[in-house]
């Protein structure tokens, strides 16, 4: 191999290495000079694309998920002064929470009022401490009556008996 072909080979190798380094530098956001960062984006605007849309589209929708609901069984257990597992065991016997409360001496209206008071206290404490926003607290208060009335008449479901769990169809 001649000196000329060796020099050409070295030149091509250096060119490839330089091209690789430039490409790596250009595509690495930590090393880039001009970062395309949206500094005006808020958590609400980012989460809005993952949220259920409200009827009012003038504001970012409130994210509806299982984390913004208060644990109903735990609250009921706290009011009835029993462990949550006790409530679940009674519900598995096809009793509603209202029936369990009536066994403990509460009427449906009294129990609903105690649940409402406890949930209001919990929501307001979370809003005051900054755990949730006031907008989120207002949304929880808005749907509270319907949610509590719905939960009062629920019975526990055995997931093994649920149609979605039937793998033999």
Residues 58 and 110 in one domain: no
Instruction: Look up residue 78 and give its two tokens.
Output: 């706290």
* Residue 39: pLDDT band with limits 50, 70, 90: low
pLDDT digit string, tens, across residues 79-95: 898 888 888 888 888 88
Residues 15 and 82 in one domain: no
**Nearest-angstrom CA–CA distance, 76 and 90:** 12
Instruction: Provide the angle, in degrees to the nearest 10, between the axes of the packed helices 134-142 and 144-152.
Output: 50
Residues 88 and 143 in one domain: yes
pLDDT digit string, tens, across residues 4-27: 899 999 999 999 998 888 877 776
Residues 121 and 161 in one domain: yes
Residues 111 and 54 in one domain: no
Question: What is the model's pTM?
Answer: 0.50
Residues 153 and 79 in one domain: yes
Residues 144 and 159 in one domain: yes
Beta carbons of 96 and 154 less than 8 angstroms apart? yes
Predicted confidence (pLDDT) at residue 70 exceeds the cutoff of 50: no
């Amino acid at each position: 191999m001649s000196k000329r072909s060796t020099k050409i080979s070295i030149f091509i190798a250096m060119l490839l290495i330089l091209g690789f380094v430039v490409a790596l530098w250009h595509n690495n956001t930590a090393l880039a000079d001009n970062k395309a960062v949206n500094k005006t984006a808020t958590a609400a605007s980012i989460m809005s694309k993952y949220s259920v849309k409200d009827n009012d589209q003038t504001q970012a929708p409130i994210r509806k998920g299982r984390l913004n609901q208060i644990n109903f069984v735990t609250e009921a257990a706290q009011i009835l002064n029993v462990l949550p597992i006790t409530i679940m065991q009674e519900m598995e016997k096809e009793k509603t929470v209202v029936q369990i409360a009536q066994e403990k001496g509460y009427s449906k209206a009294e129990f609903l009022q105690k649940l409402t008071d406890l949930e209001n206290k919990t929501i307001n404490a979370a809003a005051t401490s900054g755990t949730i926003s006031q907008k989120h607290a207002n949304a929880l208060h808005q749907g509270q009556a319907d949610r509590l009335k719905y939960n009062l008449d629920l019975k526990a479901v055995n997931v093994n008996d649920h149609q979605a769990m039937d793998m033999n169809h």
